[in-house]
A and B are shown apart, each in its own frame.
Chain A
Amino acid sequence: MDKPFAITLDVGTSRANKTGSWRTERAVYTNRMPPCNDACPAGEDIQSWLYEAEAGGDGYERAWRRIMDDNPFPAVMGRVCYHPCETACNRGQLDEAVGINSVERFVGDEAIRRGWTVSVDVPPTGQRVLVVGAGPSGLSAAYHLARRGHAVTIREAGPMAGGMMRFGIPRYRLSRDVLDAEVQRILDLGVELELDAKVTDLDTLRHDFDAVFLAVGAQLGRRAYIPAGSAAHVLDAVDLLRGVEEGERPLLGRRVAVYGGGNTAMDAARTARRLGASEAIVVYRRTQDRMPAHESELREAEDEGVLFKWLSTITQVDSGRLTIERMELDDSGFPQPTGELEELDADSLVLALGQETDLSLLDGVPGLVVQDGVVSVGADMMTGCPGVFAGGDMVPQERSVTVAIGHGKRAARHIDAWLSAEVPEPGVRPALATFDTLNTWYYSDAPRAHRPLLDRARRESSFDEVVLGHDEATALLEARRCLSCGNCFECDNCYGVCPDNAVIKLDQPGERYLIDLDYCKGCGICVAECPSGAIQMFPEQV
């Protein structure tokens, strides 16, 4: 008995008392689907590459590689994508959406500046895939197929690769140096590109390959019947943009009217201004809020002095003059003619009424279904003809570069599976990380940084890029505005706030945390105080 007076038991630690037995619910680290990822037509894992970029330094390259897993055009995307991710961004409900697109551009430009490349890390499969069309969708598919070890040949009808990225999107929105660099990186993977090699008879050619991906796009301007005088100068927006890209300086006159309300109409009007038109006026049959053009394009066009005539259709074109009829929206929002006519001075009229696909190459391909001028495909992007897949503007979906790139990626995945006779694992889509799953208290107040724009004077006289990039400090700050919705970003809050020391912080970066179930009482404070909603409570099995 060497214990002190009145002491009969040895001192013990309370760790002998396993309070985990009190628990009725268990905290589990989970990953929810961030709304940006959910909205990305190219299937980028945006939250994850922003997470890498937030580290700065080496993180930019890791971020770039994460983007490249899904999309071979980060620098192009950072210029021309209409960023549905930003529309979906939860931070939009807090102050203003994260400038995801500007960070993507910074990372993409860094890759070009520093010469980062990707490689094919699998042995050749020996299988040959034909890609028809070197637009965004075809290049994206070629890239993903090449990285999976397939031998890819692209046949392109035009003189250069890029498709609508080159012949539809003007230089002032996408610098050709950037486009060339990102296309070259794909070709450097061993993708064979045949230019001026229009495919006319697919049914014969397809037998030389193990699979085919069709991505010929939609480059025929849709026509509308408008009575026109003999001296009327009418041309097509698609032809105008293509001509300018090929070095032509079409004579449009002093006053140019553009008919249509889409992005191509904006591009045609802005191009006309740059070609010397003192007045470019967009004529559209509905109202501003119903026009399909993206808001940023509309804003930039307005900045450049493009004029707009809403609720108007063109009924007659004469030399130097258009006849316009006023429209009214009916109850269903459809424009109806009013019979009121007016005249508008215009030296030329550019039609931007949508585009159609030239599908003549498909004649004779068995099983292939064409409906409303586009090719029907399944969820796996395969047409009715086994082994022939299609994507981009020639299939029925929204037409944008990003959607096309997404099609290329999805098609590549299914072509790869089809070639190896496997069923691809269905992608798991976790529940959406909605705004109410976040604890926004913990995020710093941080106003958004917007990209600078080129001086207006230079925008009216040159094809220099209008939207400029962020410097590193600004891009980093913008990346760090990310809320990391639904995914742990290692803020240590759960470790800090547990009243029972039941969260174990692992030592290695990236290993994150574990719940110590011996002591976790299931109070749920870690769940409530996780900024990004990356922990959830689940009932214990009783």
Chain B
Amino acid sequence: MAFQEIKLYQTGTFVAGNRLLDPDQRSVQARTGRSNTLTSGHRACRGCGEALGARYVLDAAMRATDGRLVAVNSTGCLEVFSTPYPESSWQLPWLHSLFGNGPAVAAGVAAALKARGLDDVRVVGQAGDGGTVDIGFGCLSGMFERNDDVLFVCYDNEGYMNTGVQRSGATPPAASTANTKALGDQPGNVFGQGKSVPLIAMAHEIPYVATATVAELRDLEAKVEKAMTFRGARYLHVFVPCPLGWGADSADTIRLARLAKESGIFPVFEAEAGEVTAVSRIRRQVPVEDYLRPQRRYAHLFGDHPRPDLVARIQDRADRNIARFGLLPEGDE
């Protein structure tokens, strides 16, 4: 794993802090002095995974850069709920232009800072999955290909939630959305479509690519910190459950992220220059059903007319991730 394991019993690596730990061993989120880059009063739904993920990432980046940080945001939930004119929840320099041009604007900000000789000010670009995998994809690929000095973060909640829960290129198969209804003999989103932007980013052979979830805070923070040690294009893909769009209980946001990782649905790994260098192994493996059942977008797979065949196909996808990335617990391979 990317972070140093805390050899302290009772709790160790998994909680945010712990009174028994030295302050410098605590996560950024456990410190009273954290930046709170995304502060209170934002209009995200109850239990929003994206709001949580954005604060995790940017607070860690602020710490890694001593507060010399600019954020560029594509259009999406994160932008809308944080900045209804004239209010802002952002406690760092923050810039928004369009849905599709986030990576390009971020690249431009990096170029401008370089031109002004402000090499120590770093740039984070951020967007939801719509702004990353679909609408901003061309700009993102360009940013990667030019190796612009930007950490681009995708908060992946698997759909266009802000506009009413439509399918994106990151929406998983069988999930029902406003335009992939749970109807017909192949209900929900179709199998065999969509894309993995982390793998596409790796194909650009940029310095650093990583995935993370809001369920493993220390892992996420370590990856942000590591990303800031590189110059050039870096990509971080953070899995952020959406209570509204997924039809899940607002209290289950972190639990669902944990189940996604523990079932193998969402592989958590790191890659440098196109090669996978580390994976977060599964700690307590669960069948995908445990992950699917609490979500209303998969309700049509269970209930009165269950579709065990589709659940099995989703399990196959998880098993493929497990085999492909070597996610089984140590000693279990």
Which A residues are closer than 8 A to B by beta carbons?
A: 9-19, 22, 54-55, 441-444, 446, 477, 480-484, 489-493, 495-502, 505, 507, 509, 516, 518-519, 521-525, 527-529, 531
Contact = CB atoms under 8 A, between A and B. Distances in A.
A498 B250 CA distance: 11
Given A18-B41, A19-B40, A446-B9, A523 B46 contact: yes
Interface in B4-44: 6, 8-20, 26-27, 29-30, 32, 36, 38-44
B32 A516 contact: no
Contact of B42 (A500, A516, A518): A500
Interface string B78-110: 000010111111000000000000000000000
B296 interface: no
A516 B88 CA distance: 19
Contact of A484 (B10, B86, B251): B10
B29 A444 contact: no
Interface residues of B, number: 52
B255 interface: yes
Contacts of A483: 10
A496 B218 CA distance: 11
30 contacts: A11-B87, A13-B88, A14-B40, A15-B40, A16-B41, A17-B43, A54-B10, A54-B20, A480-B20, A489-B10, A490-B18, A491-B15, A491-B16, A491-B17, A491-B19, A492-B27, A492-B29, A495-B17, A495-B30, A496-B29, A497-B217, A501-B55, A505-B30, A505-B32, A507-B32, A516-B40, A521-B250, A524-B47, A524-B251, A531-B15
Interface in B43-79: 43-44, 46-49, 51-52, 55
A374 B208 CA distance: 77
Contacts of B89: 13-14
B16 A11 contact: no
A138 B71 CA distance: 71
A531 B243 CA distance: 22
A493 B12 CA distance: 12
B272 interface: no
B49 A499 contact: yes
A496 B27 contact: yes
Contact of A13 (B18, B27, B29, B87): B87
B20 A55 contact: yes
A495 B51 CA distance: 14
B167 interface: no
B249 interface: yes
B258 interface: yes
A113 B111 CA distance: 68
Interface of B: 6, 8-20, 26-27, 29-30, 32, 36, 38-44, 46-49, 51-52, 55, 82, 84-89, 217, 243, 249-255, 258, 284
Which of A10, A17, A493, A519 is the most central at the interface, judged by chain B CB atoms within 10 Å of its CB? A493
Contact of A19 (B13, B36, B43, B55): B43
B159 to A, nearest CB: 18
A444 B86 contact: no
A495 B15 CA distance: 10
Given A490-B19, A522-B46, A444 B88 contact: no
A12 B87 contact: yes
A501 B40 CA distance: 6
Given A14-B40, A493-B17, 10 more contacts: A16-B87, A444-B11, A480-B10, A492-B17, A493-B16, A496-B30, A498-B52, A521-B46, A528-B251, A528-B255
A493 B86 CA distance: 32
Contact of B30 (A477, A484, A492, A519): A492
Contact of B12 (A444, A482, A489): A444
A523 B89 CA distance: 19
A57 to B, nearest CB: 11
A489 B39 CA distance: 26
A91 to B, nearest CB: 10
B46 A477 contact: no
Contacts of B6: 444
Contacts of A509: 19
Nearest to A491: B15
B254 A525 contact: yes
Contacts of A19: 40-43
Contacts of B20: 54-55, 480
Given A441-B14, A528-B254, A531-B11, A523 B43 contact: no
A498 B38 CA distance: 12
A493 B19 contact: no
B252 A528 contact: yes
A481 B87 contact: no
Nearest to A509: B19
B86 A10 contact: yes
B191 to A, nearest CB: 31
A446 B42 CA distance: 40
A343 B191 CA distance: 78
B18 A491 contact: yes
A497 B254 contact: yes
B42 A480 contact: no
Contacts of A17: 41-43, 87
A80 to B, nearest CB: 27
A65 to B, nearest CB: 19
B47 A15 contact: no
B39 A13 contact: yes
Contacts of A444: 6, 8-14
Nearest to B50: A499
Contact of B9 (A481, A492, A497, A524): A481
B134 to A, nearest CB: 25
B40 A519 contact: yes
B10 A14 contact: no
A525 B258 CA distance: 13
A15 B87 CA distance: 8
Contacts of B42: 14, 17, 19, 500
Contacts of B52: 497-499, 525
Nearest to B49: A499
A298 B206 CA distance: 66
A533 B28 CA distance: 23
Contacts of A54: 10, 20
Contacts of B18: 490-492
Contact of A496 (B9, B16, B88, B243): B16
A476 B159 CA distance: 48
A502 B39 CA distance: 9
Which of B36, B84, B86, B217 is the most central at the interface, judged by chain A CB atoms within 10 Å of its CB? B86
B155 to A, nearest CB: 12
A505 to B, nearest CB: 5
Which of A19, A441, A519, A527 is the most central at the interface, judged by chain B CB atoms within 10 Å of its CB? A441
Contacts of A525: 47, 52, 250-251, 253-254
Nearest to B15: A491
A172 B249 CA distance: 57
Contact of A477 (B9, B40, B86, B243): B9
Contacts of B30: 492, 495-496, 505
Contacts of B38: 501
A27 to B, nearest CB: 10
Contacts of A507: 32
